[in-house]
Structure 1
Amino acid sequence: MSDGMDGTLWMYGMLALTTFPPLVPNAALIASAGALAEAGDLSLILVLLVVAGSALAGDAAVYGLGRIGSRRAHAWLDRTPRRKAALTWTADRIHAHGLPFVIGVRFVPSGRLIGGLTAALVRYGAPRYLLGAGIAEAVWASYSVALGYWGGSALGSTWSAMLIGWGVSLVVAGVAQLLSRAARPARGGGLSATGRDGPGGVTPTP
């Protein structure tokens, strides 16, 4: 009984540790947790809470670091042309669309990191950012865990659920990348952090 409980706690701990930081691929682990929940070895509700909650905590940490170290965050984002373009593109859309974009950017590759840092740099309100991030993480956690849950049920195999989780994650990431490229403005345009028309780029607010 103790060994089973230790194994369960270990799985929840691994889910939290790999979901909290952005840019850590753990789709297979989440799919496995969903399959184990379907088999009765884990609690489905607890898996969802751990995955969504740790992801939201990670988003809050990224936002907080961006607010505390705005100059360092801006310097990091400004270090390469690709990051600089992503910063300007994200800032433009946060100003233009607000909460809906905060929700949607989570599903763009590197969206948790770039979106959180940019929202902090342009001083997008913390309550609104956390609301949008919370909605996004709830949606993401639901379909990510469901892939493993229903995949394990239909195919009777945790490994099959893991492969499904990886495959769908890659498809979602690919579609999001195509949409972000199609929506990216022409080089040289953009809004400043104040929302006024400017030559591009974002100036951190002190």
Structure 2
Amino acid sequence: MFELLDTLTTVLRENLDQPWLWLLVFGIAALDAVIPLSPSETTVVTVAVLIGPDPARLLLLFAVAAGGALAGDCASHLIGRRAGPGLLRRMQRTERNRRRYEWVRTRTNKYTPLLVIAGRYLPGCRFATGMATGSMRYPFGRFLAFDALGACGWAAYSVLIGYIGGSQFTDDPLKGLLLAYGLALLLCGCVEVGRRIAARRRQANTEVRVGEPV
């Protein structure tokens, strides 16, 4: 596994100036909003590690990743606007996807800015948020503004994680990748723990209100 990863990093490092690599980053960042299994964050972090302490290239990576993420989110939003009930039913065939969609839909009107900006850090929520806001005809201009903030924040976070790994191990990108992935997993774990704590508190508050005498 490590030999394969080392070979991959060598190939990518030798092609950092090739246009196809930047098109690949843009495409994967965009596809993650339509195909939730697309490894957008992993791709951006990996390229950032290989770039290392090179401000010009890191800035270019940030712009390409943010642009791709924004394009993909807008695509999922427009698909939601035009999909109709048929596609939405197909999207909700599995129980997991149905729960995601309902969770996003019921909170769209009240928490749309938060969902659009922060939802991208939760697995599958980028697609669900775009489809839900689109199907509910949320104003596209407002969606675009909030999503631009979210895309820029996500791109900056991913590039920064990769930069930390690459700057610490400039002569050994494999170790830089492992450090960056470890940091990313740690941050994701903290976000998930915080989300569960908040959900339990909301549930406890709801039970208290329900149990109060009328």
Same fold (TM over 0.5): yes
Task: Give the helix-richer structure, 1 or 2.
Answer: 2
TM-score normalised according to structure 2 size: 0.74
* Amino acid in structure 1 at the alignment position of 2:25: L
Cα gap change, 1:138/1:41 in structure 2, threshold over 3 Å: closer, same or farther? closer
Deviation at 1:106, TM superposition (A): 1.4
Structure 2 alignment gaps of length 5 or more: 1-13, 204-214
Alpha-carbon distance in structure 2 between the residues aligned to 1:103 and 1:135: 7
Residue 167 (structure 1) aligned with residue 182 (structure 2): yes
Deviation at 1:36, TM superposition (A): 3.5
Determine helix, strand or coil for the equivalent of 2:31.
Answer: coil
Alpha-carbon distance in structure 1 between the residues aligned to 2:42 and 2:91: 29
Larger RCO: 1 or 2 (CA < 8 Å, sep 6+): 1
Tell me whether 81-90 or 172-181 shows the greater mean CA deviation.
Answer: 172-181
Alpha-carbon distance in structure 2 between the residues aligned to 1:132 and 1:7: 32
Match of 1:108 among 116, 122, 125: 122
Aligned residue in 2 for 1:18: 28
TM-score normalised according to structure 1 size: 0.76
How high is the sequence identity, in percent, across the aligned residues? 26
Structure-to-structure mapping, 1:18-37, within 5 angstroms: 18-22=28-32, 23=36, 24-37=38-51
Alpha-carbon distance in structure 1 between the residues aligned to 2:197 and 2:179: 26
Deviation at 1:181, TM superposition (A): 8.5
Aligned residue in 2 for 1:130: 144
Match of 1:8 among 12, 18, 22: 18
Match of 2:153 among 112, 119, 139: 139
* Amino acid in structure 2 at the alignment position of 1:169: A
* Contact 1:28–1:162 under 8 Å retained in 2: no
* Amino acid in structure 2 at the alignment position of 1:17: G
1:8-65 per-residue CA deviation (whole Å, 9 max, x = no partner) reads 3132122112211112114343223213333549722211110110111011111111
Residue 62 (structure 1) aligned with residue 72 (structure 2): no
Alpha-carbon distance in structure 2 between the residues aligned to 1:97 and 1:159: 40
Aligned residue in 2 for 1:204: none
Alpha-carbon distance in structure 1 between the residues aligned to 2:119 and 2:81: 19
Alpha-carbon distance in structure 1 between the residues aligned to 2:156 and 2:184: 13
